[in-house]
Amino acid sequence: MVKTEKFIPKAIEKIKAKAQGKTIIALSGGVDSSVCAVLAHRAIGDNLIPIYIDTGLMRKGETERIKEIFGDMNLQIIDAKDRFLDNLVGIKDPEEKRKAVGETFIRVFEEEAIYVEAECLIQGTIYPDKIESDGGIKSHHNVGGLPEHIKFKHIIEPIDDLYKDEVREVAHALDLPEEICERMPFPGPGLSVRIIGEVTREKVDVVREANAIVEEELLEQFCPWQTFAAVLGKGTGVKGDLRVHGWIVAVRAVGSRDGMTAEAMELPWDTLRKISSRITGEIPTAARVVYDITPKPPATIEFE
């Protein structure tokens, strides 16, 4: 439990004391970076430049949501969709995909940091990230990792003593919208890890629409730890009177405590049938819907 009424003014003072000149933060729309952006904005106002990079691999409506919530800040929205998708052409291997997305993110962020003449960087590192990195368990290369070629005067990590549930408490206390406070995890490489094989514009469009449908049908009613759709490949179907070769969409809904292990949720048949009928009905190129019942382990939560 964090005492938000003490934590918030202290964090704002800490940022005020350390930040010099223009200070940037990569805003992803997740709860960690959102909380840091609000704290920093209260501390240094327009000297904070939140940078949101539209990778083309974000959820449906994400860019508009960010504009709506953070529009009163000195927000920079960078449309880098083509650059990300071009850099993914021909890449089929999951790790290579992650690398391509991560590297493109760092390059774009770096260019913007130089352009706005940023002197300081704010990062949304939380306590478990710090422990895992310090202990060498895993390095935390969230997409949006540290720009490598820029020397910042200060790197400020305002929430690095908090656990995730404490960050959510602070988010509530800062009056961030409920959908941000309680947001389920979204992978750094975005929708690219929900596409088997090469990432193409067509597959991204299908998976984005399918994700939106799955979230609409499951989030509020079933409160899964995480739920989403993935595009697996193509299969035969019938639409109208025609046989089509359309996309096979997988639906995933899991319960979990921390993402380390997970159980597939036992969803009612009616719900699954409705999702199937919406995906194949609303996405012209989708022919088939399957529900993934595999726990983690042996599967992972994401598909790649």
Which residue ranges are tagged as binding site?
Answer: 28-34
Stretch near ligand XMP under the rule CB under 6 A, chosen from 5-13, 17-25, 34-42, 182-190: 182-190
Place of tokens 């003593």: 161
Which residue's CB is nearer to ligand XMP, number 76 or number 226?
Answer: 226
As a whole number of angstroms, the distance between CA 113 and CA 23 comes to 9
Query: Strand pairing partners for 248?
Result: 233, 288
Stretch near ligand XMP under the rule CB under 6 A, chosen from 13-21, 106-114, 172-180, 295-303: 295-303
| CB of 225 vs ligand XMP, minimal distance in Å | 8
Check if the beta carbon of residue 154 is closer than 8 Å to that of residue 120.
Answer: yes
Torsion, CA 156, CA 161, CA 163, CA 165, rounded to 10: -80
CA angle 204, 207, 213 (to 5 degrees): 140
Contact positions with ligand XMP (CB under 6 A) in 66-85: none
| CB of 295 vs ligand XMP, minimal distance in Å | 11
Query: Under the criterion CB under 6 A, does residue 133 sit at the interface with ligand XMP?
Result: no
Cis amide leading into 297 (omega within 30):
yes
Which residue's CB is nearer to ligand XMP, number 95 or number 266?
Answer: 95
Question: 39 is written with which tokens?
Answer: 């704290």
Annotation: binding site for ATP: 28-34
Give how many residues touch ligand XMP by CB under 6 A. Answer: 13
Which residue's CB is nearer to ligand XMP, number 112 or number 304?
Answer: 304
Strands (DSSP E) found in 67-191: 76-79, 120-122, 154-156
Query: Under the criterion CB under 6 A, does residue 94 sit at the interface with ligand XMP?
Result: no
Strands (DSSP E) found in 133-241: 154-156, 226-239
Question: 128 is written with which tokens?
Answer: 């478990």
| CB of 47 vs ligand XMP, minimal distance in Å | 28
Query: Under the criterion CB under 6 A, does residue 56 sit at the interface with ligand XMP?
Result: no
Which residue's CB is nearer to ligand XMP, number 7 or number 303?
Answer: 303
Check if the beta carbon of residue 53 is closer than 8 Å to that of residue 33.
Answer: no
Which residue's CB is nearer to ligand XMP, number 236 or number 300?
Answer: 300
| CB of 204 vs ligand XMP, minimal distance in Å | 17
Query: Under the criterion CB under 6 A, does residue 125 sit at the interface with ligand XMP?
Result: no
User: Which one of residues 50, 124, 147, 189 is an interface residue with ligand XMP (CB under 6 A)?
Assistant: 189
Torsion, CA 109, CA 43, CA 177, CA 63, rounded to 10: -20
CA nearest neighbour of 123 among 41, 203, 37, 61? 37
Strands (DSSP E) found in the chain: 23-26, 48-54, 76-79, 120-122, 154-156, 226-239, 242-255, 263-264, 286-291
User: Which one of residues 94, 237, 255, 259 is an interface residue with ligand XMP (CB under 6 A)?
Assistant: 259
Which residue's CB is nearer to ligand XMP, number 209 or number 304?
Answer: 304
CA nearest neighbour of 207 among 224, 190, 194? 194
Write the binding mask 136 to 175 for ligand XMP: x where contact by CB under 6 A, - elsewhere: ------x---------------------------------
Query: Under the criterion CB under 6 A, does residue 18 sit at the interface with ligand XMP?
Result: no
Which residue's CB is nearer to ligand XMP, number 30 or number 158?
Answer: 30
Residues that bind ligand XMP (CB under 6 A): 98, 142, 185, 187-189, 193, 226, 259, 296, 300-302
